[in-house]
Amino acid sequence: MKLGFLGTGTIATAVIRGLAGQGHQIRVSHRSRANSAQLAAEIPEVSAADNDAVVAESELVFLGLMAARAPEILAPLPFRADQRVVSFMADMGLEQLATLVAPARAAAIMLPYPAIAQGGSPIPALGDIRVLTPLFTPANRIFPMQTPEQLAACLSAQAVLSPVARLVAEAADWMGQGPEGEAFLRMLVATSLQAQGCADLLAALNTEGGYNQRLAQDMERRAMPQMLRDGLDRLQQGR
């Protein structure tokens, strides 16, 4: 398939690396020139071009742009009716996107993460998931969102990753065992969460008088779960 990328920032670069080696022809824009030049040098099927050429020569166009600048960038480009467009812009809905890329079809919004470069990454997506499935699965897992509200909630909730990483980093620093201590905790958390759902894991760890139960109870007394919910509410409300 002929794939085009407008914008080659960190996320778009990760997506391109994840698609490498699958037989696609990939055109990337000169925006973020250092990234586009590096991708073209490292990946045989990738070539760099200006925005017009990326759109003109692609069947499926990915947008890795800032939503505030997207209208001025997209307006002069030669989109066609036989093209589909997938956006990484969580703050621009499909209806608005459709007006900017007409007569092409605004197919989906997807929220990639850097791990998509290696595979094994979650991909929240809204719209026509059939466009994404052959490109990104089974190496990754697509989580379909049914409404813009679901996508917005997912975008806010995924920010829990930062506090989780902070908790692990703080515990590792408290251990005082350097990189090995952090590696132990990272592996413990990652494998435990992969093995079972949160409710089952919490139940299994809730041994009467055990270390996990005692620390969890201490954090609950300090209202940390409610602090998290309050923070998510503020994110959702844009505060």
Kindly give, in sequence order, each residue whose CB lies less than 8 Å from that of residue 72, ignoring residues fewer than 6 positions away.
none
The model's pTM is 0.90
Tokens (6 digits) for 228:
């998290």
Domain with CATH 3.40.50.720 in the chain: 2-146
pLDDT at 35 (0 to 100)? 84
- Architecture in CATH for domain 2-146: 3-Layer(aba) Sandwich (3.40)
Q: Return the DSSP state at 48.
A: E
> Can you give 209-230 as a three-state secondary structure string?
CCHHHHHHHHHHHCCHHHHHHH
Q: Taking a C-beta distance cutoff of 8 angstroms, is the pair 16, 26 a contact?
A: yes
Kindly give the confidence (pLDDT) of every residue in the chain, 239 residues in length, as a single tens digit, with 9 standing for 90 and above.
999 999 999 999 999 999 999 999 999 998 667 888 899 999 999 999 999 999 999 999 999 999 999 999 999 999 999 999 999 999 999 999 999 999 999 999 999 999 999 999 999 999 999 999 999 999 999 999 999 999 999 999 999 999 999 999 999 999 999 999 999 999 999 999 999 999 999 999 999 999 999 999 999 999 999 999 999 999 988 86
Q: Taking a C-beta distance cutoff of 8 angstroms, is the pair 88, 62 a contact?
A: yes
Element (H, E) at 44: none
Is the link from the previous residue into 71 a cis peptide, with omega within 30 of 0?
no
Question: How many Cβ atoms are within 10 Å of 112's Cβ, its own excluded?
Answer: 24
The SS3 assignment for 218 reads: helix
Q: Return the DSSP state at 88.
A: -
Residues 1 and 161: their CA atoms lie apart, in Å, by 34
